[in-house]
Each structure stands twice: as C-alpha cells, then as structure tokens.
Amino acid sequence: MQAFLGIDVGSVTTKFALLDENDELIASAYARTQGRPIQVIQQGLREVAATLSGEATISGVGTTGSARYLAGVIVGADVVKNEITAHAVAASYYEPAAQTVIEIGGQDSKIIILRDGIVTDFAMNTVCAAGTGSFLDQQAARLNMKIDDFGPLALRSKTPVRIAGRCTVFAESDMIHKQQMGHSVEDILYGLCQALARNYLNNLGLGKEILAPIVFQGGVAANRGMVRAFEEELKTPIIVAPHNHIMGAIGAALLAHEHAQLNGGGSRFRGFGVSEQQYATSSFECKGCSNLCEIVQIKAGREVLARWGGRCGKWDM
C-alpha cells in the first residue's frame, strides 16, 4: 500500500496525517511543539511508524506550517507549502463547495476566500493574541477548568455579557470585572466567544465577501461555543471540518499525493530512521549587504543540511 504523509509544524502544536491511496486518513498524531520542533517531529514520526504495517510505503511527504522548511529538511519532503494552500486544499477536499474557510490556531488565525476551489483572497493575523486559541487556553486555566469543558459550559449561557475583545489585556480585565459583579461563568465564557468572533470578523473579515458554505478549521473549531458565536454573527450554519485539528497536515498529504501523481512516483522521504538522528540548528547574520539577513542553518553532525532566511538566495542549498 502506498501512503502519503503530511506534517504541519506550528508554533503551538505539531500535527501528522497519513493518507492511503484513496486519500483516506489511516493514522494521525498531535503534540504540543513546546519550542522543540525537531524533537516533536521525530517523536511524531515514531508514532506514525508504529501504526504502519510492513506492506505500507511512504510514497510522498508534504510539510506546512511556520516550521515547514525545517520539517522538510529533516524528513526529506517532496512538497513544502504555506498554511493557506494546505488548509484550502483540505477544506476543498472534504467540502468541494466551500467558499470561505475560517481557521483559528494556537497563535494565529486565517480567513481564506475560495471560489470554484481556487484561493482568491486571504488574510492572516499573527500579531494579536485576542483572536487565537492560546487566549482561550489562558482564560480556561485562569478559571481552573479544562479547555475541553469551555465549549459545553459556554453553550449553557442564557444572558451572555459583552466582553471587550479588541485586546487580550482589556478582555481579561473585563472578564474579571464581570466576575466581580456576579455574572455567571457560563455567561462570561460565551461573552468571550462572541468577543473573539467579533474580533476575527472585524479584523480578518473586513472587506471580505464571506459566503456560505463556511468551513471552520483549526483546534478552536472543536469549541462549540465559538461555532455558535460565528453562526450568530454570520447568520448561517458553520461546517466544522471532520478532522479540524489536523486539516493543515491533511492538506500537505493531499499535495504530496498530487505531486507523486504528476511526477510519476518516487519520493525524497529519508525514512523513519531520521527520528533517531541528532540534529542541531543555529543562526548567523549575513554581512553581505545592508539587509543583514538572519540565516538559519541545520546540521546533522558536521554536515550542513540546509540554510534559509536570506532574501537573495546566496545561502540557499
């Protein structure tokens, strides 16, 4: 059996998806990156390898996410694509008629506008935590509850309070104030969901033609309170992707399968043995011009495997 591996290395979590020849998901892995992308990639490879039968071979590998180049060098990726492309491909595969993709991850969020399966517009937020999953995590921890309990509790709200959601600092202060006034936790939690939905639509959705069907992806899509808040704001049903938390990895695997079909097979995959290899990363500043680019390099022993980060390509290998 041929299998196709997709890896999505984000700032908060790292996801793996393994698809068969029919693009059916046969294995997956999900772990916190915790600032150790190389070790987490290697651990994920070990988990995926443990699920494979002896007859399965990796015929294509795709990487995406903020550390896609690093992951691509380690595993020997055939395709390295940005998150917009990967999420759009995955959304179109499960919902071919999709016209809008809402994606909210741990430390960033995206909106992707699709028309006939083609990305026509997009926007990303990478600088404000008020519209991301990490803020929900932080507030759940402050209220001494599991993030898994956040959504069900928020759905019990009858009279949600209005939370100032333009900034995490103001939102947290507002939540504390509402608690001190005696509002229920349910109403505060759903008020926070509404604030995040407004923040997302006012920032990323501004000027965008948001049409149904709308697909919600990313870890935050598992929060039913957020789904309901978006449905109220947009006044249309929201489709939660079937594997919402690993859709980026699935998109990368689909792209790897397409690449294999177009190129007659053959993969650069370096094998699962790389999970035991010792790697080291470092950086230096290029003094070649006034840009002073920060060059990142990765080594296996004394061998430099790759360098990236320059604008001119001088250090690319």
List the domain range (segments joined by +) for residue 107: 96-240
| CATH at residue 101 | 3.30.420.40
Q: Are residues 76 and 110 in the same domain?
A: no
Q: Give pTM, 2 decimals.
A: 0.86
Of 111, 126, 124, 106, the C-alpha closest to 223 is 106
Kindly tell me if the per-residue pLDDT of 317 is higher than 90.
no
Q: Which helix (H) or strand (E) holds 87?
A: helix 83-94
Q: Are residues 258 and 197 in the same domain?
A: no
Q: Are residues 209 and 261 in the same domain?
A: no
Q: Which helix (H) or strand (E) holds 42?
A: helix 37-51
Q: Are residues 108 and 159 in the same domain?
A: yes
What pLDDT was estimated at residue 126?
Answer: 63
Kindly tell me if the per-residue pLDDT of 313 is higher than 80.
no
What is the percent of the chain with per-residue pLDDT over 70, rounded to a whole number?
95
Distance of alpha carbon 284 from the chain centroid = 28
Q: Are residues 168 and 302 in the same domain?
A: no
Q: Are residues 232 and 200 in the same domain?
A: yes
Q: Are residues 305 and 223 in the same domain?
A: no
Q: Are residues 79 and 56 in the same domain?
A: yes
Q: What is the pLDDT of residues 114-163, one digit of tens each?
A: 999 899 999 988 666 666 777 888 888 888 888 888 889 889 988 888 88
All residues at 6 or more sequence positions from 160 whose CB lies less than 8 Å from its CB, including other chains: 187, 190, 191, 194
Q: Are residues 144 and 162 in the same domain?
A: yes
pLDDT classification of 166: cutoffs 50, 70, 90: low
Q: What is the pLDDT of residues 231-272, one digit of tens each?
A: 999 999 999 988 999 999 999 999 999 999 998 878 899 888
All residues at 6 or more sequence positions from 1 whose CB lies less than 8 Å from its CB, including other chains: 20, 21, 53, 55, 56, 57
Of 266, 263, 251, the C-alpha closest to 5 is 251
Query: What is the number of H-type helices and E-type strands within the chain?
Result: 9, 13
Which tokens sit at 155?
Answer: 């759905």
Q: What is the pLDDT of residues 168-177, one digit of tens each?
A: 677 778 778 7
Averaged pLDDT, 39-50: 91
Q: Are residues 149 and 233 in the same domain?
A: yes
Which tokens sit at 181?
Answer: 């006034």
Q: Are residues 101 and 125 in the same domain?
A: yes
User: What is the tally of structural domains in the chain?
Assistant: 3
Distance of alpha carbon 296 from the chain centroid = 22
Q: Are residues 233 and 101 in the same domain?
A: yes
